[in-house]
């Protein structure tokens, strides 16, 4: 019996379902905050007196800390207990959300956003790793990750709509206040629904690895964000060079440390390695796609921010359809076939969008491509998550979840930096319209389709066939202790 199997003995039936709903709902809140303030930025600027440079940090502070701290957050969940780290992350996120809503000065809001990102980096990998261990079988894990992926997609696509509604009807502050009752509810339910306890194996924390890894991610994400905003200036180059140096030092330290933050052997499992690499391509394409479509709807088709958000809602419906298909195809065929189909169909949908001309309407030109790519993304996201945590156990499920989330955050930053810059080479997609902006949008969609095609080839040729997700036999000896530890607080 493996460590994962013993974990599922702690939570069964309706309690396990309730735990999945709770963790997914919190994840929805965390993903929502990636975009929920975007529509309200102009109001925030006028209310608090932000300058142009400072206003960007309302968005970037959250993105930066969330992406940079995921690795230590995921490892902390493995070492200190997943429920404890989840509760700490949700507590910090809720308190920071309240502080953001009450902010009276620009620095107060930006500080709150940094703290929100820190809380999210603790809660997100802890939550995903608990789902991974609660649902060990391939079929049931596919369904659980389908729920998780669907909720994440809804959070990403409805953030703009929620922000627009709250800002128009109430105040921009409610974009933050709305998180507080969700966080409080999660904290009240967590002790009743989530497995507790600490792992029996308590290795020492790899402090040098944590510092170097966090520093490398921080410098990398900062450099990519600067590239998207101001192009290649000296500060951008320094930040990316620093990321390269710190990353190399991180690899050297991890190779020589007895109990590293990221064991290199963990990345040697081929299905996980391919999943992480193709997740980078997947999120780079889809983050840029979402950003550029929203700009196209507003600048070329003349939609208001709220109208553009509403026009994007069919994307959420397509994602849910794809998630429904993903759960069934992964259970029957494993992760590789649905992933190949997802990447290929995504490429087709992006090529459809690349043919949109300036005079084309939304329903006849934009919507068909949006539907195709949304179904394909819903098909692929849960399968990628399952592949990324294949054979993870009580000792490293948090690490696997954190690596996937880190790759996704970096991929999003790469996509925004590279593809938006590419679109800008033809015209200004952020402020302008006309043929130049449409040509830039089309060029970015073609390159995004190339990303997805490359990912499809990598999956088809490098990823193993049907992959087990029931843990590694070698971990069986640790199962009784892990189960006893979980039962103690369950």
Is the confidence at residue 476, as pLDDT, over 60? no
Q: Could you tell me if 70 and 182 are in contact, meaning their C-beta atoms sit under 8 angstroms apart?
A: no
How many C-beta neighbours within 10 Å does residue 255 have? 10
Is the confidence at residue 18, as pLDDT, over 50? yes
Average pLDDT over the chain reads 78
Structure tokens that stand for 193 in this block: 């629904």
How many C-beta neighbours within 10 Å does residue 466 have? 12
User: What Å distances lie between residue 94 and 71, 91, 152, 177, 442, CA to CA?
Assistant: 21, 5, 19, 9, 40
Confidence of residue 39 (pLDDT cuts 50, 70, 90): low
Chain mean position to CA 387: 15
- Cα separation, 230 vs 235, in Å, equals 10
- Cα separation, 453 vs 474, in Å, equals 36
Is the confidence at residue 442, as pLDDT, over 50? yes
What pLDDT is stored for residue 15 in this prediction?
80
What pLDDT is stored for residue 432 in this prediction?
52
> Tens of pLDDT along 290-310?
878 877 777 777 777 667 777
User: Mean of the pLDDT values across residues 121-130?
Assistant: 88
User: What Å distances lie between residue 473 and 129, 391, 477, CA to CA?
Assistant: 19, 9, 9
Residue 40 φ/ψ region, left for φ over 0, alpha for ψ in the -120 to 50 degree band, beta for the rest: alpha
- Cα separation, 467 vs 295, in Å, equals 40
Mapped onto helix, strand or coil, the DSSP state of residue 416 is helix
Is the confidence at residue 376, as pLDDT, over 60? yes
- Cα separation, 411 vs 398, in Å, equals 20
Q: Could you tell me if 482 and 7 are in contact, meaning their C-beta atoms sit under 8 angstroms apart?
A: yes
In a 10 Å sphere around its CB, with 0-12 CB exposed, 13-18 middle and 19+ buried, how is residue 75 labelled?
buried
What is the percent of the chain with per-residue pLDDT over 90, rounded to a whole number?
18
Instruction: Report which of residues 138 and 246 the model is more confident about.
Output: 246
Q: Could you tell me if 179 and 97 are in contact, meaning their C-beta atoms sit under 8 angstroms apart?
A: yes
How many C-beta neighbours within 10 Å does residue 191 have? 11
Residue 231 φ/ψ region, left for φ over 0, alpha for ψ in the -120 to 50 degree band, beta for the rest: left
How many C-beta neighbours within 10 Å does residue 187 have? 15
Position of tokens 């553009």? 308
Is the confidence at residue 486, as pLDDT, over 50? no
Confidence of residue 487 (pLDDT cuts 50, 70, 90): very low
Is the confidence at residue 434, as pLDDT, over 80? no
Position of tokens 């996937």? 404
Give, as one character, the DSSP assignment of residue 204: P
Half-sphere exposure of 210 (CA within 13 A, CB side): 13
User: Mean of the pLDDT values across residues 319-339?
Assistant: 86
Query: At a CB cut-off of 8 Å and minimum separation 6, what does 366 contact?
Result: 293, 296, 297, 301, 353, 356, 360
Is the confidence at residue 344, as pLDDT, over 50? yes
Orientation angle between helical segments 82-102 and 397-424, nearest 10 degrees: 40
Give, as one character, the DSSP assignment of residue 261: S
Instruction: Report which of residues 402 and 468 the model is more confident about.
Output: 402
Structure tokens that stand for 144 in this block: 């659980």
**329-333, 444-448, 474-478: which has the highest mean pLDDT?**
444-448
Give the chain's radius of gyration (CA, Å): 21
What pLDDT is stored for residue 3 in this prediction?
39
| Closest-CA residue to 137 (of 334, 404, 278) | 334
Is the confidence at residue 330, as pLDDT, over 60? yes
| Closest-CA residue to 75 (of 210, 169, 166, 198) | 210
Q: What is the pTM of this model?
A: 0.76
Which ranges constitute the DSSP H helices of 296-335?
305-311, 313-333
Structure tokens that stand for 478 in this block: 């640790």
Orientation angle between helical segments 138-169 and 13-32, nearest 10 degrees: 40
Is the confidence at residue 16, as pLDDT, over 80? yes
Give, as one character, the DSSP assignment of residue 34: T
Which ranges constitute the DSSP H helices of 231-333?
234-256, 264-267, 270-295, 305-311, 313-333
User: Mean of the pLDDT values across residues 45-70?
Assistant: 76
Is the confidence at residue 485, as pLDDT, over 50? no
> Tens of pLDDT along 146-201?
777 777 767 766 666 676 677 667 788 888 898 899 999 999 998 888 877 666 55
Is the confidence at residue 488, as pLDDT, over 50? no
- Cα separation, 179 vs 293, in Å, equals 27
């Amino acid at each position: 019996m493996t460590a994962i199997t013993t974990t599922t003995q702690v939570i069964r039936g309706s309690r396990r379902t309730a735990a999945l709903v709770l963790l997914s709902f919190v994840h929805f809140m965390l993903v929502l905050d990636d975009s929920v303030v975007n529509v309200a930025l102009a109001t925030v600027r006028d209310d608090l007196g932000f300058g142009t440079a400072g206003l960007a940090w309302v968005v970037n502070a959250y993105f930066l800390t969330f992406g940079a701290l995921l690795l230590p957050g995921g490892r902390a969940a493995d070492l200190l207990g997943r429920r404890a780290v989840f509760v700490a992350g949700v507590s910090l996120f809720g308190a920071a959300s309240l502080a953001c809503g009450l902010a009276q000065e620009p620095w107060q809001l930006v500080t709150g956003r940094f703290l929100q990102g820190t809380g999210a980096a603790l809660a997100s990998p802890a939550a995903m790793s608990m789902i991974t261990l609660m649902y060990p079988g391939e079929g049931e894990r596919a369904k659980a990750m389908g729920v998780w992926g669907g909720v994440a997609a809804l959070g990403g696509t409805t953030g703009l709509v929620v922000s627009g509604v709250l800002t128009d009807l109430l105040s921009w502050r409610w974009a933050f206040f709305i998180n507080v009752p969700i966080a409080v509810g999660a904290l009240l339910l967590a002790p009743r629904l989530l497995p507790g306890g600490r792992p029996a194996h308590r290795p020492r924390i790899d402090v040098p690895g944590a510092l170097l890894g966090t520093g490398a991610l921080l410098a990398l994400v900062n450099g990519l964000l600067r590239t998207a905003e101001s192009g290649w200036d000296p500060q951008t180059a320094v930040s990316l060079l620093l990321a390269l140096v710190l990353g190399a030092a991180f690899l050297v330290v991890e190779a020589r440390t007895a109990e590293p933050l990221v064991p290199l052997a963990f990345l040697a499992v081929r299905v996980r390695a391919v999943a992480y690499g193709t997740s980078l391509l997947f999120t780079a394409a889809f983050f840029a796609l979402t950003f550029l479509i929203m700009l196209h709807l507003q600048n070329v088709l003349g939609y208001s921010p709220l109208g553009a958000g509403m026009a994007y809602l069919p994307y959420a419906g397509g994602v849910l359809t794809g998630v429904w298909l993903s759960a069934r195809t992964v259970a029957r065929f494993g992760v590789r076939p649905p992933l190949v189909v997802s990447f290929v169909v995504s490429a087709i949908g992006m090529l459809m969008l690349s043919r949109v001309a300036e005079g084309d309407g939304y329903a006849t030109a934009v919507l068909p491509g949006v539907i195709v790519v949304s179904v394909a993304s819903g098909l692929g996201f849960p399968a990628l998550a399952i592949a990324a945590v294949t054979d993870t156990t009580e000792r490293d499920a948090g690490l696997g979840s954190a690596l996937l989330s880190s790759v996704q955050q970096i991929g999003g930053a790469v996509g925004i930096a590279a593809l938006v810059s590419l679109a800008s080479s033809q015209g200004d997609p952020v402020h302008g319209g006309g043929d130049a902006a449409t040509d830039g949008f089309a060029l970015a969609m073609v390159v995004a389709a190339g990303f997805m095609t490359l990912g499809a080839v990598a999956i088809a040729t490098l990823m193993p066939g049907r992959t087990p997700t029931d843990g590694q036999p070698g971990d069986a000896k640790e199962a009784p202790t892990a189960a006893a530890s979980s039962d103690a607080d369950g």
